[in-house]
Structure 1
Amino acid sequence: MSGALDAVLARKSLSRVTDAAPNHAELASFVSAAGTVADHSALRPWRLIELRGTDRERLGRAFAKAEGEKHPSTKPMRAPLLIAVVVSYSKSEKVPRWEQEATASGVAHMLSLLLDEAGWGVFWRTGSATRSKAVAKAHGLGKNEALLGWLYVGGKPPRTRTGRRKSIDGDRFLARMPRKKKSDASN
């Protein structure tokens, strides 16, 4: 198998990570590589926000505000590094909004694969807070932007299982275009 195929098959989401995290320079190199994802018209309709230290506490307060809670959420403290994935919509005749979201999602997924391959634990979290005003304000989102979630990144715990992910049967999800029916041939 190829290196990329092996890496994809070996990837596991890790909801529990250690306090270690890639530094900014290392993260920037992964972002540079992830940015090569398919991008119709090269719009680059995405950006990432690096949250470390007290940024995570601010996010916990924004979660609490969004959810009507009195105490800050501890969810953002579950990893030393959170990477907010933002879609930045561009007006385009050629590229609809859904395709711009797909590009931003592709960057996030590619980044998670690169981080995992480099030995970091990664988990993509979403939820209702991604669309809340309080959380958008905390991230400084513009009117043309939406939050797609966060990559939680940290060290892989020593007891992490290293076995392969259970693969799916590709034939179950792969089909050919239906053949023309005789009634269609007359059209």
Structure 2
Amino acid sequence: MDAIEALTHRVSTPKLQAPGPSSEQWRQLLRAAQRAADHGQLRPWRFLTIEGEAREQLGQLFCDSALRDNPQLPDTFQQKFKNMPLRAPALLVVIASCQDHPKVPQQEQVIAAGAAAQNVINAAFALGVGAMWRTGDMAYNSHVCQGLGLAENEKLIGFIYLGAPASASKSLPSISEPEEVCQSWGEVQA
């Protein structure tokens, strides 16, 4: 697939099924991630893959974290948390691993990790792998971050759910014309 076509036609795939990415596809996705814009070449990111039974373990971590916040959480909601990672055969956890640097503030490093995540979902689309970047309360939950092994200098950027699209893509959502979202600055207006 042509790069510009992939970038201008990419859509998220919320309904995913087996199979997940092959080992070669994983390799390509992670190589694409590492080509993200990266001021200072700090590579302020790391990744966790979650497949198979590890998805159930992540679901239990989600449930346990939700119960810490709300010990009265009804069983139906507990099951919902347990099922979240089962919506795809594979997940990629994207983590910003920030470093002290005199010229690259933490915010830039977090953005770089977000750019790495975007590269993953763009590469997935180009490879024909369905992808959905999810965040939500669990991405920002300190107990979840601790359970995933994040250090104090790290932030969870998101969970990228990966698999085969379970249904045909919907029609492309419309995007704005370039002149609607971009203006020239500094020109003398008549």
TM-score (norm 2): 0.87
- Number of aligned residue pairs: give it: 179
Distance between the aligned counterparts of 2:55 and 2:169, measured in 1? Answer: 28
Kindly state the Cα deviation for residue 29 of structure 1 after the two structures are TM-superposed. 2.4
Aligned AA for 2:14? S
Other structure's SS at 1:136 match: helix
Distance between the aligned counterparts of 1:143 and 1:180, measured in 2? Answer: 48
Q: Is the 8 A contact 2:25 2:127 kept in 1?
A: no
Q: Is the 8 A contact 2:90 2:163 kept in 1?
A: yes
Other structure's SS at 1:140 match: coil
Are 1:80 and 2:89 counterparts? yes
Distance between the aligned counterparts of 2:84 and 2:149, measured in 1? Answer: 20
Other structure's SS at 1:107 match: helix
The residue that corresponds to 1:58 in the other structure is 57
Other structure's SS at 2:17 match: coil
Aligned AA for 1:98? Q
Kindly state the Cα deviation for residue 180 of structure 1 after the two structures are TM-superposed. 7.8
Q: Is the 8 A contact 2:29 2:124 kept in 1?
A: yes
The residue that corresponds to 1:134 in the other structure is 143
Q: Is the 8 A contact 1:11 1:165 kept in 2?
A: no
CA RMSD of the aligned region, Å?
2.0
Deviates more, 1:147-156 or 1:169-178: 169-178
Structure 1 stretches lacking a partner, 5+ long: 182-187
Other structure's SS at 1:95 match: coil
The C-alpha deviation readout for 1:84-134, integer Å capped at 9, x for no partner, is 010001101111111101100000001101011111110000012112122
Are 1:176 and 2:184 counterparts? yes
The residue that corresponds to 1:23 in the other structure is 22
Q: Which has the larger radius of gyration?
A: 1
Distance between the aligned counterparts of 1:178 and 1:83, measured in 2? Answer: 42
Aligned AA for 1:129? M
Task: Identify the match of residue 166 of structure 1 among 170, 174, 179.
Answer: 174
What's the % identity of the aligned pairs? 28
Kindly state the Cα deviation for residue 162 of structure 1 after the two structures are TM-superposed. 6.3
Kindly state the Cα deviation for residue 179 of structure 1 after the two structures are TM-superposed. 4.8
Are 1:99 and 2:108 counterparts? yes
Other structure's SS at 1:102 match: helix
Aligned AA for 1:152? Y
Distance between the aligned counterparts of 1:96 and 1:50, measured in 2? Answer: 27
Distance between the aligned counterparts of 2:91 and 2:188, measured in 1? Answer: 49
Q: Is the 8 A contact 1:10 1:163 kept in 2?
A: no
TM-score (norm 1): 0.88
Aligned AA for 2:175? S
Structure 2 stretches lacking a partner, 5+ long: 68-72
